[in-house]
Amino acid sequence: MTTAKRDTYTPETLLSVAVRVFNERGYDGTSMEHLSRAAGISKSSIYHHVAGKEELLRRAVSRALDGLFGILDEAGATRGRALERVEYVTRRTVEVLTAELPYVTLLLRVRGNTRTERWALERRREFDHRVADLLKAAAAEGDLRADMDMRLATRLLFGMVNSLVEWYRPQAGTGYDREQVADAVVRLAFDGLRTATP
Amino acid sequence: MTTAKRDTYTPETLLSVAVRVFNERGYDGTSMEHLSRAAGISKSSIYHHVAGKEELLRRAVSRALDGLFGILDEAGATRGRALERVEYVTRRTVEVLTAELPYVTLLLRVRGNTRTERWALERRREFDHRVADLLKAAAAEGDLRADMDMRLATRLLFGMVNSLVEWYRPQAGTGYDREQVADAVVRLAFDGLRTATP
Handedness of CA A129, A134, A140, A143 (dihedral sign): negative
ipTM of this complex prediction, to 2 decimal places: 0.90
Note the pLDDT tens digit of each residue in B59-114: 999 999 999 999 999 999 999 999 999 999 999 999 999 999 999 999 999 988 89
Same domain, B77 and B167: yes
pLDDT band per the 50, 70, 90 thresholds, residue B147: confident
Same domain, A45 and A106: no
**Is-contact A14 A52, C-beta < 8 A?**
no
Same domain, A43 and A66: no
Q: Determine the pLDDT at residue B70.
A: 98
Whether pLDDT at A188 is above 90: yes
Same domain, B103 and B36: no
Question: By CA distance, what is A83's nearest residue in B?
Answer: B194
Q: Specify the higher pLDDT residue, A128 or A111.
A: A128
Report the run of H or E that residue A85 belongs to, with start and end: helix A82-99
Grouping H, G, I as helix, E, B as strand and the rest as coil, residue B176 is coil
Same domain, A126 and A182: yes
Lowest mean pLDDT among A17-21, B167-171, B177-181: B167-171
Q: Determine the pLDDT at residue A7.
A: 73
Same domain, B75 and B171: yes
Gyration radius from chain B CA atoms: 20
**Is-contact A189 B185, C-beta < 8 A?**
no
Q: Determine the pLDDT at residue B146.
A: 86
Considering only CB atoms, which residues of chain B are within 8 Å of chain A?
Answer: 83, 135, 142-149, 152-153, 155-160, 162-164, 166-167, 176, 180-181, 184-185, 187-197
φ and ψ of A44, to 5 deg: -65, -30
Q: Compute how many other C-beta atoms are within 10 angstroms of the C-beta atom of residue B121.
A: 15
Q: What is the CATH number of the domain that holds A43?
A: 1.10.10.60
Question: By CA distance, what is A181's nearest residue in B?
Answer: B152
Q: Determine the pLDDT at residue B8.
A: 81
Whether pLDDT at B142 is above 70: yes
Question: By CA distance, what is A163's nearest residue in B?
Answer: B159
Note the pLDDT tens digit of each residue in B7-18: 788 878 899 999
Q: Determine the pLDDT at residue A80.
A: 95
Cβ contact, residue pair B159, A158, below 8 Å: no
Same domain, A114 and A143: yes
**Residue A158 is assigned to a structural domain of this protein:** yes
Tell me which residue range forms the domain holding A41.
Answer: 11-50
Same domain, A46 and A64: no
